[in-house]
Structure 1
Amino acid sequence: MDYKGYEAVVNYDEEAKIFSGEVINTRDVITFQGESVSEVEKAFQDSVDDYLEFCESRGEKAAKVF
C-alpha cells in the first residue's frame, strides 16, 4: 500500500483474524491494524497522518522516506 509517499506491508494473522501492517520506507516505526481490508487501509492512512501531525506538533521534520 502507498499513501503520501509512505509504503507499507500488510500481513494477515489467521488465528487472531486481523490484518497488521508496518510502514517499510522510513526509519521511524509506524504500525497499524484492522479487521478488514478497508479497515486496514483506513488505519494505514490514519497512522501516517497521525505521525505527520505528531512530528509537526513537536516542531520536527518527519523522517525521510526512502
Structure 2
Amino acid sequence: METLKYKDFYGSIEVNQEDDTLYGKVLGLEKSVLITYEGNTVAELKKDFRNAVDDYLEHCKEHNLPTHKSYSGTLNVRLTPQIHAKIAQLAEQAGLSINAFIKETLQKAMM
C-alpha cells in the first residue's frame, strides 16, 4: 500500500472508482482522532493531506491539546506465557533486554 508522509504523520491513499476521486486518512492515530483528506489528482491529495495535518496541529495548539502522531513507536503485543519465557531466555542468551531482542528480531525480519 502506498502512503503519504508529512511531519511524522502517515496517510493512506484510497481510490473511489465511482466518482474517480482520491481520499485517505491519517494512519496510526488514537481512535478518538480522525483526520481525512481528498483530491481529484495525486497532487491535490498530497496538498489536502498536508493542509489537514497542519490544521490538526494548529487546532491542538490553539486549544492547548496534546497532538497524537502516527505510530508512536510503542507497541503492546499479547503473548502466551510460554512464548514470553522463551523470548526472555533468548534475549538473556544474546545479552539483550527483551525489548532490544524483539526490536532486533523484527528489524532482521523486515530485511
Structure with greater contact order relative to length (CA < 8 Å, sep ≥ 6):
1
Whether 2:46 is the aligned partner of 1:8: answer no
Work out whether 1:21 is the aligned partner of 2:24: yes
Q: Gaps (5+ residues) in structure 2? A: 72-111
TM-score (norm 1): 0.93
Between the two proteins, the alignment pairs up a number of residues equal to 66
Which of 32, 54, 61 aligns to 2:66? It is 61
TM-score for both structures, normalised by structure 2: 0.57
**What percentage of aligned pairs have identical amino acids?**
30
Checking the alignment, whether the CA contact within 8 Å between 2:26 and 2:70 is kept in structure 1 is no
CA RMSD, 1 decimal: 0.9
Runs of 4+ in 1 over 3 A off after TM superposition: none
The structure having more radius of gyration, on CA atoms, is 2
Shift of 1:53: 0.2
Match for residue 44 of structure 1 among 41, 49, 53: 49
More strand by share: 1
